Amino acid sequence: MILVPITYRGGVYRHDEIIALIEDLGGYIVQKHMIAQEVVLQSFVPRDDIDLIRAVAKPLSGEVIDSPLVGTEIAVVIPSLEIHHLPHPACDIAEYTRRLGAKSNMVGMARGVGKRIANINDEERDVINEHDIAVYVLGNFETCIEYKMPFLRRGVEVPIVLCGAPDKETLQRIIQPPVDGYVGNVGRFMHRTKESDELAMLDEIIAEITRVLEKKRVEIAKDPLSVSPARLMDVIREQVPAILDVTSPTPLTVQMAGLRVKLPYDTFAGVLKKTEIEDGITIGDITEVVPSRMRDYILVKILPFSSTNTVI
């Protein structure tokens, strides 16, 4: 069964029927937002059943949209959290990816500014490495991007999409060794993105992120994960009731090959490891449960089939 990410958008009225349907079909609901009279469900559903969900949703005036970014966690990396980068370029990009289903976090560097002093510290590097992809939003000058990028990417192992004002070809030329994706004509600007050409630019960023993530998905598929992250999320939600008391918007953040559990590591790591998924196989058997550099959260990294010899 191949699960694909979708977003369901519809009214509150009878939306529980859609939730029940997705669960009955073997899908998972990653996030549920209730905004006034509207419900947005970000979920994984079996590919063959999308038409069925569409048919059920039609009388409820609900719509089903493909959203390739559901179930991914994206780091939007900016040189600082100053007015020069916030709110416009960085927030607009982070918000746009969020709208399409991703969980985006903003990483503002302590010393990312300037040419001479630009650097990345170990905490920033580790936090970025906990994500599925890093989107670097840099500035307007070719010289600066060329000079700074080697410092800002030092130690970052996740795929990088680089955004900057020079065009795509220039970015490709100046960045050595190459990064995974480039989006040109997105530099520093000081206004909201609302003109059609600016929205097209955001779409281009999304397309590039999707392309890079798709490549990563293909890589993962070559050595499949022992358990799907969405399923693991369901298991934790059922068996570790403490997660239901967490007030953060996404207490369990699904990633492509893991899960961020927003519970304190010292208290809950042991509990998580012993939680049974199925037939006596526990979470500890097929995953690595490590402390996250983000607050005191737990990071669950799912091991591939090749190292556990199990797929459930």
Partner 1 sequence: MASIEYFEVECTERLGGEYYKQITNDVLLDHNLLRVINKLHVFIDPKVPIFVAVGVMKRVSSRVRVQDFANINPVEGKTILVISDETYLAPMLKVFWQRFGKDHVEQPDRFTVILYDVPASTQEIEEIVVADPSEALYKDLIYALRCIAPEGFRVRRETYGKEKFSFVASEDTLNGSADALIKEKFALMGETP
Which is nearer to partner 1, 116 or 222 (by Cβ)? 116
Could you tell me if 259 and 303 are in contact, meaning their C-beta atoms sit under 8 angstroms apart?
no
**Residues near partner 1, by CB under 8 A:** 79-80, 82-85, 113-118, 139-144, 165-167, 187-191
Could you tell me if 259 and 225 are in contact, meaning their C-beta atoms sit under 8 angstroms apart?
no
Extract the tokens encoding 304.
């591939």
What is residue 153's three-state secondary structure?
A: coil
We find the least distance from the C-beta atom of residue 90 to partner 1, in angstroms, to be: 12
We find the least distance from the C-beta atom of residue 194 to partner 1, in angstroms, to be: 13
Which is nearer to partner 1, 80 or 292 (by Cβ)? 80
What is the distance, to the nearest Å, from the Cα of residue 21 to the centroid of all Cα atoms in its chain?
25
Which is nearer to partner 1, 142 or 285 (by Cβ)? 142
Q: Kindly report the backbone phi and psi dihedral angles of residue 160, in degrees, each rounded to the nearest multiple of 5, phi listed first.
A: -120, 135
Which is nearer to partner 1, 103 or 188 (by Cβ)? 188
Which is nearer to partner 1, 111 or 273 (by Cβ)? 111
We find the least distance from the C-beta atom of residue 191 to partner 1, in angstroms, to be: 5
Q: Kindly report the backbone phi and psi dihedral angles of residue 247, in degrees, each rounded to the nearest multiple of 5, phi listed first.
A: -90, -5
We find the least distance from the C-beta atom of residue 100 to partner 1, in angstroms, to be: 26
Which residues are bridge partners to 253 per DSSP? 260
Residues 175-214 as b or e (16 or more Cβ within 10 Å = b):
beeebbbbbbbbbbeeeebeeeebeebbebbbebbbebbe
Which is nearer to partner 1, 189 or 250 (by Cβ)? 189
We find the least distance from the C-beta atom of residue 110 to partner 1, in angstroms, to be: 13
Which is nearer to partner 1, 56 or 183 (by Cβ)? 183
We find the least distance from the C-beta atom of residue 180 to partner 1, in angstroms, to be: 23
Which residue type does 209 have? I
We find the least distance from the C-beta atom of residue 274 to partner 1, in angstroms, to be: 48
